[in-house]
């Protein structure tokens, strides 16, 4: 399969590498070309522009940070370069509104749009074990399936409206953020009474909350291990705000999301935007006058 890949960040790079491991032909583009060097050494070709990625491929896979980054690439030439029948697979977590807009714009070019946001941190992406949420044209998903299989443990199909995949991803991230916030607050409470956060988190994640999200993020909170970031606090804030925006338009109340947004704003105000969003542990400790440790 001929695959184009745009966006070689902490997630995009291992996702693209797995396309090569699966035997697909790969052309890539990234704003910082040096990110593509490992892929080029493994057989990928570097495109001069994002638009050039779409010249001779079956599918264009995109992993960018947000609506703004994706819009700049699409409007900067990629959209106009799409060929009829090409499948555009967007792995980025974007707003529900932009997902609808993208589907229409890509369709107007005769191409097919598939939303496919992912669950999993960089090590999971490297292992090809992502959970991918897909929605869009069934034929387009089928065409892209070999590329999706190269990166995933499982694909979860949520229907033909692409925005459904995005709202599932946003809602899932809200659940993760709620887990982090609850552990942050609970850890601050026990610390205020002389209990070590590591002891508390250790017990909880081996009993009532023995799941990857709680054990992974709980360990980070207990150890104050927020770098390197698997998912930056700034991106967490973006996703929480996407959830609040989608909720407002559908008249859904999300009080917990509002609390988490304010906590993430606190983190960013204290210069922690590039740290992992588990840094909410420090926010809760600071608010409880426990200091940063």
- Which residue in the block uniquely carries the two structure tokens 């070999």? 146
CA separation for the pair 109, 102 (Å, rounded):
11
Tokens 């991106």 identify what position?
235
**What would the 3-class secondary structure string for the chain be?**
CEEEEECCCCCHHHHHHHHHHCCCEEEEECCCHHHHHHHHHCCCEECCCCHHHHCCCCEEEECCCCHHHHHHHHHHHHHHHCCCCCEEEECCCCCHHHHHHHHHHHHHCCCEEEECCEECCHHHHHCCCEEEEEEECHHHHHHHHHHHHCCEEEEEECCCCHHHHHHHHHHHHHHHHHHHHHHHHHHHHHHHCCCCHHHHHHHHCCCCCCCHHHHHHHHHHHHCCCCCCCCEHHHHHHHHHHHHHHHHHCCCCCHHHHHHHHHHHHHHHCCCCCCEHHHHHHHHHHHCCCCCC
Catalytic residue (one of 2, 169, 232, 238): 169
* Residue 163 burial (10 A CB sphere; 0-12, 13-18, 19+): buried
Q: Would you put residue 286 in left (φ > 0), alpha (ψ -120 to 50) or beta? A: alpha
Q: Would residue 169 show up in a list of annotated catalytic residues for this protein?
A: yes
Catalytic residues: 169
């Amino acid at each position: 399969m001929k695959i184009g890949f745009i966006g070689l960040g902490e997630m995009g790079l291992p996702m693209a590498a797995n396309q090569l491991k699966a035997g697909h032909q790969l052309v890539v583009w990234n704003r910082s070309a040096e990110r593509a060097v490992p892929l080029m050494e493994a057989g990928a070709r570097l495109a001069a522009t994002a638009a050039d990625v779409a010249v001779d491929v079956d599918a264009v896979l995109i992993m960018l940070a947000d609506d703004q980054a994706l819009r700049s690439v699409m409007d900067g030439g990629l959209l106009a370069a799409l060929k009829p029948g090409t499948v555009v697979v967007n792995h980025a977590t974007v707003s529900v509104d932009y997902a609808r807009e993208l589907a229409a714009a890509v369709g107007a070019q005769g191409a097919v749009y598939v939303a496919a946001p992912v669950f999993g941190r960089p090590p999971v992406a490297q292992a090809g074990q992502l959970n991918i949420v897909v929605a869009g044209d069934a034929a387009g998903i089928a065409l892209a399936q070999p590329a999706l299989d190269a990166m995933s443990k499982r694909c979860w199909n949520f229907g033909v409206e692409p925005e459904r995949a995005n709202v599932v991803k946003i809602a899932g991230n809200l659940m993760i953020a709620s887990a982090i916030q609850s552990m942050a607050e609970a850890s601050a409470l026990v610390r205020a009474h002389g209990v070590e956060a590591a002891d508390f988190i250790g017990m909880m994640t081996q009993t009532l909350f023995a799941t990857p999200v709680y054990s992974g993020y709980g360990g980070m909170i207990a150890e104050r291990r927020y770098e390197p970031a698997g998912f930056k606090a700034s991106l967490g804030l973006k996703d929480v705000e996407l959830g609040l925006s989608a909720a407002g338009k559908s008249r859904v109340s999300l009080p917990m999301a509002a609390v988490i947004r304010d906590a993430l704003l606190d983190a960013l105000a204290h210069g922690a935007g590039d740290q992992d969003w588990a840094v909410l542990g420090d926010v809760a400790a600071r608010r409880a006058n426990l200091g940063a440790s």
